[in-house]
Structure 1
């Protein structure tokens, strides 16, 4: 398997997995995707179902990843999966599913060390980085941006990894107190937290600006943990496969067999639902991909109208991990949508978007078939919707969900009549990460795991900086 840039125009320019693992962003500014998606068969899914029941999540992770990774020996890749997805890290089973009312299921993705779905990819990424850096005798400086959960998941996955230093940017005051505490309480000289004046999009722009300086990137061995890194996306493909297998197995056992499912995914940066798109392209029996946004509804607007219109800034909401107005993974989907025409994608993202502030595909034949061909529908949720949904799910099912998952449940409910069969909601985080919203909705604090008691009272390790790419470069240089 080789990988190409979404903006690439040269034939036979593919790179192996481990090269793009360390690169993150392609030199032309595009994002890496495999030259083709592997194809799943019914027999493969039957075999994986049996394997999941006998050997668990790591075994299925190896099977899925081996379709995309051919430059790591099988024995090593299997060991990487077993370390990343140990039940000591995620509990047993890894990614359980929970039935809710109205044939909706919750894929429990937040049982990892930072109580967020990002752990599912970051723990694997940490293992990949350590393995490949040791194999090459190199070091890596990770530069990332977070709107909430990516930062802590990355830092917990990378701390103590030989040869790895992390610089993580976050928007000042825009994360929940719990999210801030998770990141800023880490006291490790190789973990550097930088709170940026502005919003998440400013942080993301800084990462792209510094990564775009090829000489600086090479000199400091810069790599990415944001979902611009393909390894993050392919790791997430695994839990779509596992969630499908778990739900259909449970339904078979109850006599309510289902051959296809739909997924409802809360998203701001298009990374999580991009993985669902890849799984569907591979042939995982997914009927509909329900894209749920909050008030920052750039993606919902595109899937309804065909116009991708970047906002001047992201609105601050009670589902802050989705407070994003520039969806960096969206380019991957556009590449597929436009028949993998790298020149056309490059023109859209390097000329049309900067000049006009939007990409308009509304009148194209590709957009006309977006629901039928790719299965996408979308919707938006508000703060009032989140509160009402959290109350409703607790009342009907005795389950407390976080505000981002509530966005997905709400949108799935809005579209329920047009979608047959089970809908799986991909959980974003444990409710404890957003206590203020839970208290507002339910009148009581959410359950807090013992590992997180008192975390907000720990000393903070963070430096506040303006949104200045040159200053960021100096900080990276001075830390060496």
Structure 2
């Protein structure tokens, strides 16, 4: 299995090479030359596997250059009971909707599912090459803490994580800024997430600087993140069909609703569907920064400026420029890199690109539909879910449930990907339910711990100096 750029440049890469490279040399994103496929017989043979074993099978279709016994060891370490005490649970909440519990890891957010594997895989690849890697990433809340907790203390890796000043919850800040590991560098940028993401891409696009400073990525521009997230779509389908007879299972369709900001999580579902997993619909749920919803409803993609990007009560989705959309566009245009380059040229020149002619294909061919949830919607949804089932959901998951309700179909289970534990967003939960969630002694200690962060302006030169001073070589 080889990986190529959405913009046609550079040489094909192995999985391990793609893992270390992050952004492609021509500024595009790496994608499989061809998606692997899974037939019904193979899918059924995976039913009895635990999560680590399933991850080995699914990731083995992508990471063909990693010996199977090594990959199995990486997955066993990533998804051990010491890291994830509970396998991904499915919890019905009524009205045909079931939550897929992805927040059982160390940072209480779905990003742990991919990041724990990524941490193991990066260390493995670097040990094989004898190299070092300086991760430069951007986070709107959960990616940063998941990455830092997966990579902290690793000898061959340093992490430089950019976050927007004042745009995360107190819990999210504490999870990141309280880490005292020497290889973790938290950098708060005076701006929004998109400003942080632009800085990361600018550095990655400077090939001399990238190579000299040994830069890599853990944002969802890193293909390994996307492939690791594919696993839980297969897991959720298998668990959702456990009670069906063998004849009923084959081809049995489910739908997934995915709270989305950077289009990485739902892209993994898009890959799973392309591999043959019976997915009827992929429901994209946006918050008030609903650029992606606008695109999938109109065909016109028009990112907003930093000043137009709203601070909301589902802050991890406060994103107006979705990096992973490029991978979808690549398939939309028939995997033609020149058309991808043309779309991004239009975006640079006019601030938008237009695929209205392809609009019917979004739902009919690719199964993607979308909707928007507001602050009032998520409060109402948190209340309704709690009243109906006793379950408390976080505000991002509430966005997913709210939008999912518009697309529930008889006989088609609607699986909503949970994004985080509600404790991470206590203020919103209190506003919705009038209660304060009790925090464990461990979480109270976390919130009270000293924090270490460097604040900088939205300035590339300042960031370069920090990296040059502290990077591993």
- Answer whether TM exceeds 0.5 for this pair: yes
What's the Cα RMSD here?
A: 1.5
Instruction: Show the counterpart of 1:44.
Output: 42
Give the Cα–Cα distance (whole angstroms) in 2 for the partners of residues 34 and 367 of structure 1.
Answer: 24
Does the 8 A contact of 2:190 with 2:458 survive in 1?
A: yes
Instruction: Show the counterpart of 1:470.
Output: 461
1:331 matches 2:331:
no
Q: Return the offset for 1:103.
A: 1.5
Q: Return the offset for 1:252.
A: 5.4
Question: What's the secondary structure of 1:454's corresponding residue?
Answer: helix
1:379 matches 2:371:
yes
Instruction: Show the counterpart of 2:264.
Output: 271
Give the Cα–Cα distance (whole angstroms) in 1 for the partners of residues 267 and 244 of structure 2.
Answer: 26
Does the 8 A contact of 2:153 with 2:182 survive in 1?
A: no
Instruction: Show the counterpart of 2:68.
Output: 74
- Spell out, residue by residue over 1:322-359, the C-alpha distance to the aligned partner (whole angstroms, 9 max, x if none): 0000000000000011100001101211x110111111
Select 2:289's aligned residue among 296, 302, 315.
296
Give the Cα–Cα distance (whole angstroms) in 1 for the partners of residues 355 and 412 of structure 2.
Answer: 31
Select 2:220's aligned residue among 211, 220, 227.
227
Question: What's the secondary structure of 1:63's corresponding residue?
Answer: helix
Alignment length, in residue pairs? 468
Select 1:60's aligned residue among 45, 50, 54.
54
Select 2:451's aligned residue among 448, 460, 468.
460
Instruction: Show the counterpart of 2:31.
Output: 33
Q: Return the offset for 1:233.
A: 0.3
- Spell out, residue by residue over 1:153-207, the C-alpha distance to the aligned partner (whole angstroms, 9 max, x if none): 0000000112100000000000000000000000111100000001000000000
Give the Cα–Cα distance (whole angstroms) in 1 for the partners of residues 390 and 329 of structure 2.
Answer: 40
Q: Return the offset for 1:99.
A: 1.1
Q: TM-score of the superposition, structure 2-length normalised?
A: 0.97
Q: Return the offset for 1:367.
A: 2.9
Instruction: Structure 1: give runs of 5+ residues left out of the alignment.
Output: none
Give the Cα–Cα distance (whole angstroms) in 2 for the partners of residues 252 and 173 of structure 1.
Answer: 51
Q: Return the offset for 1:282.
A: 0.4
- Report 1:390-401 matches (<5 A): 390-401=382-393
Q: Return the offset for 1:464.
A: 0.5
Question: What's the secondary structure of 1:188's corresponding residue?
Answer: coil
The verdict on how the C-alpha distance between 1:251 and 1:394 changes in structure 2, with shifts beyond 3 A counting, is: farther
Select 2:415's aligned residue among 403, 416, 424.
424
- Runs of 4+ aligned structure 1 residues displaced above 6 Å come to 255-258
Give the Cα–Cα distance (whole angstroms) in 1 for the partners of residues 19 and 41 of structure 2.
Answer: 30
Question: What's the secondary structure of 1:204's corresponding residue?
Answer: helix
Does the 8 A contact of 1:310 with 1:357 survive in 2?
A: yes
The verdict on how the C-alpha distance between 1:67 and 1:452 changes in structure 2, with shifts beyond 3 A counting, is: same
Give the Cα–Cα distance (whole angstroms) in 1 for the partners of residues 249 and 406 of structure 2.
Answer: 23
Give the Cα–Cα distance (whole angstroms) in 2 for the partners of residues 73 and 24 of structure 1.
Answer: 22
Give the Cα–Cα distance (whole angstroms) in 1 for the partners of residues 139 and 321 of structure 2.
Answer: 13
Does the 8 A contact of 2:152 with 2:184 survive in 1?
A: yes
1:164 matches 2:157:
yes
Give the Cα–Cα distance (whole angstroms) in 2 for the partners of residues 147 and 138 of structure 1.
Answer: 29
Does the 8 A contact of 2:370 with 2:403 survive in 1?
A: yes
Instruction: Show the counterpart of 1:106.
Output: 99
Instruction: Show the counterpart of 1:7.
Output: 7
Does the 8 A contact of 2:154 with 2:183 survive in 1?
A: no
The verdict on how the C-alpha distance between 1:257 and 1:229 changes in structure 2, with shifts beyond 3 A counting, is: closer
1:286 matches 2:279:
yes
Give the Cα–Cα distance (whole angstroms) in 2 for the partners of residues 368 and 382 of structure 1.
Answer: 26
Q: Return the offset for 1:211.
A: 0.9
Q: Return the offset for 1:261.
A: 0.4
Does the 8 A contact of 1:400 with 1:446 survive in 2?
A: no
The verdict on how the C-alpha distance between 1:169 and 1:178 changes in structure 2, with shifts beyond 3 A counting, is: same
Question: What's the secondary structure of 2:312's corresponding residue?
Answer: coil
- Spell out, residue by residue over 1:434-460, the C-alpha distance to the aligned partner (whole angstroms, 9 max, x if none): 000000000112243443123221111
Q: Return the offset for 1:256.
A: 10
Instruction: Show the counterpart of 1:360.
Output: 354
Give the Cα–Cα distance (whole angstroms) in 2 for the partners of residues 8 and 367 of structure 1.
Answer: 25
Instruction: Show the counterpart of 2:396.
Output: 404
Does the 8 A contact of 2:25 with 2:205 survive in 1?
A: yes
Instruction: Show the counterpart of 2:335.
Output: 340
Does the 8 A contact of 1:248 with 1:258 survive in 2?
A: no
Question: What's the secondary structure of 2:280's corresponding residue?
Answer: strand
Give the Cα–Cα distance (whole angstroms) in 2 for the partners of residues 464 and 276 of structure 1.
Answer: 36
Give the Cα–Cα distance (whole angstroms) in 2 for the partners of residues 17 and 456 of structure 1.
Answer: 38
Instruction: Structure 2: give runs of 5+ residues left out of the alignment.
Output: none
